[in-house]
Amino acid sequence: MSDDAGLVPEIEALAEKLGQARASISRRFIGQETVVDLVLSALVCGGHGLLIGLPGLGKTRLVDTLSTVMGLNGSRIQFTPDLMPADILGSEVLETAEGGSRAFRFIEGPIFCQLLMADEINRASPRTQSALLQAMQEKEVTVGGQHRVLEKPFHVLATQNPIEQEGTYPLPEAQLDRFLVQIDVLYPDRDTERDIILATTGAEEAESHQIFSAGELIAAQALLRRMPVGTSVVELILDLVRACRPEDPTAPEAVQRSVSWGPGPRAAQALMMTVRARALLEGRLVPSAEDVMAMAAPVLTHRMALSFAARARGEELSSVIRSVAESVTRVEAAA
């Protein structure tokens, strides 16, 4: 109990700092508060984010702003069909010294950074996409038979266009599962769009400033793991994840009828982390059922797949997940 009490001032200080980061981001990335909160949640949890949205909605601007605000060394890769793994990881080159001796020297690729923007990640071939797998999970890469550890912290924020599919390669399920959250970037409302055009078409633009350092972000990630989670929330997470698996006996009829495959244990782990982050961003010390409901779609959508018949009927995963989350929450409340 005393350990939990000692966490209170640390959690409150971190929540205040995250509020400052929010405010700084909003100077360059106007509106889209939900998107900003989800990206901040991914970073505080030590995970990666997949941003899905049409061109021109500010995804690149957001990642560039985050690099400044979070004090991270950023890098950007524009994925194209002819991109090769060595273009991401780096390669060894043979150099000749003054004395005539020759030796290989490793030249680091853009993946050696702290915040990597993988722009239009689904435009690269599966061979190139796989170059990110080890980096995203193990935080290291293997080049020339040598393991090379990436700088800490390491985060990938990838973007994907949901409409244009010509010349693209769908991300394999194994790589999708490495993303902590899927973040849907939607059109802004009218008032927000007015603010955007007024703020970005004048003689000067507002600038964001640094709030975190890399070391402070690592400390925040460690603190997040110490935040307590109540037994009822843990059970709710388990009930939700298991109910989304069509072969599970607790799965509702809608899941059994419409879902081909459901989320694995990594989804439950992701929910445990992200509900803490959401509570923190909301200024609360412990997560609640409301946080589980809010994080269900971002965590589960890219870890599930609709059946062909469900797609033909025009169903959407977000609707299925929402109905399952609501039913599971009602059952928990009644118990």
Listed residue (269, 266, 291, 296) closest to 280, CA to CA:
291
Q: pLDDT tens digit string along 315-332?
A: 889 889 999 998 888 776
Query: Does pLDDT of 3 surpass 60?
Result: no
Is the domain covering 229-335 a CATH 3.40.50.1820 domain?
no
Based on its alpha-carbon atoms, the radius of gyration of the chain, rounded to whole angstroms, reads 21
Listed residue (217, 213, 240, 238) closest to 45, CA to CA:
217
Neighbours of 120 (CB within 10 A): 18
Q: pLDDT tens digit string along 260-317?
A: 999 999 999 999 999 999 999 998 999 999 999 999 999 999 999 999 988 898 888 9
Residue 90 sits at φ, ψ, to 5 deg, of: 110, 175
Listed residue (118, 102, 101) closest to 110, CA to CA:
118
304, 244 in Cβ contact below 8 A? yes
264, 177 in Cβ contact below 8 A? yes
Residue 63 sits at φ, ψ, to 5 deg, of: -65, -40
Distance CA 181, CA 49 (A): 5
| pLDDT given for residue 5 in this prediction | 62
Distance of CA 54 to the CA centre of its chain: 17
Lowest mean pLDDT among 19-28, 155-164, 292-301: 155-164
Beta strands per DSSP E along 18-152: 49-52, 74-78, 90-96, 102-108, 115-119, 140-143, 146-149
- Region label for 314, one of left (φ > 0), alpha (ψ between -120 and 50) or beta (otherwise): left
Q: Which residues pair with 181 in a beta bridge?
A: 49
Can you tell me the mean pLDDT for 169-183?
88
Do 1-83+111-226 and 229-335 share a fold?
no
Q: How confident is the model at residue 126 (pLDDT cuts 50, 70, 90)?
A: confident
Q: What is the DSSP string of 179-228?
A: -SEEEE-PPPPHHHHHHHHHHHSSS----------HHHHHHHHHHHHHS-
Of 3.40.50.300, 3.40.50.1820, 3.30.2080.10, 3.90.600.10, the CATH number of 1-83+111-226 is 3.40.50.300
Q: Burial of 261 by CB count in 10 Å (0-12 exposed, 13-18 middle, 19+ buried)?
A: middle
Sequence ranges of the domains in the chain: 1-83+111-226, 229-335
Distance CA 39, CA 34 (A): 9
Q: pLDDT tens digit string along 73-121?
A: 999 999 988 888 889 998 888 777 777 777 778 888 899 999 999 999 8
Q: How far is CA 135 from CA 156, 170, 182, 284, in A?
A: 9, 19, 18, 33
Listed residue (190, 189, 325, 310) closest to 256, CA to CA:
310
Distance CA 85, CA 59 (A): 24
Percent of the chain with pLDDT over 70: 96
